Amino acid sequence: MGMEMKLQVKMSQQLVMTPQLVQAIRLLQLSRQELVEEVRKELDGNPVLADDVAEPRRTTPVAGPNEPAQLDSLPERPAHDSDLSARQAEKQTKDVDWEQFLENRAQQQAVPSYKGGFEEMPPIEQNLTKPASLREHLLWQVHMSDFVENEKAFAILVIGNLDERGYLDLKGDDGRPDIPLEELAIEAELNPDDAADVLAMIQRFDPVGVAARDLRECLLIQAEVLGYDDQEKAIIRDHLHNVERRNFAAIMKALKAGSLEEVYESVQEIQKLESTPARNYTDVDDKQIAITPDVYVVKDGDRFVVADNDKGLQRLYVNEQLATKMLKDPKAKEFINEKLRSAQWLIRAIEQRRRTIIRVTECIIEKQREFLEKGVSYLKPMILRDVAEAVGMHESTISRVTSNKYVHTPQGLFELKYFFNSSISRVADEDIASESVKQAIKKIIATEDKGNPLSDQAIVKILEDNDGIRIARRTVAKYREMLGILSSSKRKKMF
């Protein structure tokens, strides 16, 4: 059989992700604080990119993605007040020694030496302390311990598998079986027989009980370290379900305790233990987190208007005088052209991000006008597709836009994702948003008799009678759990 070579022409279509498109998508999903950090890094690394105080936006021409960077197509500098103009004019008219600049850039990666005095020290903000994360705190203890190398490797793997509560999470993904502890040991080249002993040492690090595999193990470790008596350890080991149900009589009978008061005192001591080892290293509900909104929604007459929040964000522009001077040096021309294109794309991507957030927010408030005027009970069902079709974007883009972006409204501060809710039918009215149902359940439970709390079925009846909302008991249970509210048996006040 003979062989021959042929040349064929084939046409096909495919989506090509250019670096500029990747950058635009990445900027779109950044939170406000992450965007500020990204801009700061770009300013540090691009000599022709400059920033200024936030001012009203003005439309500026930028080169297209395939156009060469030319000075006549660069964004204009924003208007300055007189003092700022004078300072910047003085800075921009200084002679630039480009060869020295390139030499300095080549040396930037060198390890700094501090023998020359204070001038060579890094910026003071690099020396400021910050609260350590749980992972950092545990790794420090690992390196301070007397573990041998394979034990350290195993400990690092354990720390890498902790969940946000500080528990060891070895559950497999997508329905796969749990990962055996011995498998981590093999990966760390540790004898599997030693895995349990090394884990026990990690669990006695600070905070005590970290890397436990469940609540029982976490509390039992703390009880042993703190010297709790045998009855208290037995309650943790065998009767946590009765503690949750506040069934003290069953505990007293099983442990042959002297009285209910004795059992109750033991339970009181157990409740002093920490159920979430990572509590002091994560953001918890009782800590207030300052959030700066990306956009504001304000009422102007009979309509709602969206305004972006420029406060705290640098306005970027290209330093034309500096770029012009640098381009005169043949050695620097290629480098500066690259930096000009990078600056243009960044400015363009940030502006596109701003316009997209405003556009999506305007669509949301158009659909949620009653919520803005009357509150959460009037929140309408809405899904990503509703907004995507209205603004002519893909659902994935809407998802990126609404993640970690916040809007300040007459009803308070909300993440844009808050407004997307599934629908629940009323008995004789239009659909209601699932978030509104959650808030209705929360309100009902807040006003119940604490000595005789409402069952989920009782809440079902109240919702139907008072609000015309017909949902199943299991739906009430699901929403109650999502709100972090215990069942009626666990909400009952015994003492």
When pLDDT is cut at 50, 70 and 90, the band that residue 209 belongs to is: very high
- Per-residue confidence (pLDDT) for residue 332, from 0 to 100: 78
pLDDT > 70 in the chain, percent:
72
On whether residue 16 sits in a domain, the answer given is: no
pLDDT in tens, 169-194: 887 554 556 778 888 889 889 999 99
Residue 100 domain-assigned (yes or no): no
Helix (H, G, I), strand (E, B) or coil at 242: helix
Question: Which burial class, exposed, middle or buried, applies to 39 when counting CB atoms under 10 A from its CB (0-12, 13-18, 19+)?
Answer: buried
Residue 455 lies in a domain: yes
Q: What does the CA dihedral 431, 434, 440, 444 come to, rounded to 10 degrees?
A: 120
Is the pLDDT at 70 greater than 70? The verdict is no
* Global pTM value: 0.47
Domain residue limits at 250: 228-276
In terms of average pLDDT, the best of 179-188, 283-292, 471-480 is 179-188
Q: How far is CA 334 from CA 48, 107, 330, 461, in A?
A: 13, 20, 8, 73
Residue 250 lies in a domain: yes
* Sign of the four-CA dihedral 272, 277, 282, 285: negative
The tokens of 258 are what? 């002297």
**Distance (Å, whole) CA 350 – CA 315:** 10
How many domains, the chain? 2
* pLDDT tier at 145, thresholds 50, 70, 90: confident
Pair 316, 351: CB distance under 8 Å: no
> Which structure tokens are listed for 272?
């002093």
Distance CA 139, CA 137 (A): 6
Query: pLDDT by residue (tens digit) across 71-114?
Result: 333 333 343 343 344 344 444 434 444 444 444 544 444 444 44
**Spatial separation of the C-alpha atoms in residues 288 and 90, rounded to whole Å:** 44
406 phi, psi to nearest 5 deg? -120, 145
CATH code of the domain covering residue 469: 1.10.10.60
Which pLDDT belongs to residue 91?
44
306 phi, psi to nearest 5 deg: -100, 130
Band of pLDDT at residue 391, cut at 50, 70 and 90: confident
Within a domain: residue 248? yes
Domain end point (choices 243, 260, 276) = 276
Helix axes 330-367, 98-106, angle to 10 degrees: 70
φ, ψ dihedrals at 316, nearest 5°: -100, 145
**Domain termination residue (choose one: 261, 276, 291):** 276
Integer Cα distance of 285 and 265 in angstroms: 28
Backbone angles phi, psi at 298, to 5 degrees: -125, 150
pLDDT tens-place string over residues 346-360: 888 888 888 999 999
Residue 201 in domain:
no
Q: Are residues 344 and 318 in contact, defined by beta-carbon separation less than 8 angstroms?
A: yes
Domain boundary among 276, 304, 336: 276
pLDDT of residue 234: 93
Strand 406-409, strand 295-300: pairing: parallel
Instruction: Tell me, yes or no, whether 185 lies in a domain.
Output: no
Determine, yes or no, domain membership for 397.
Answer: no
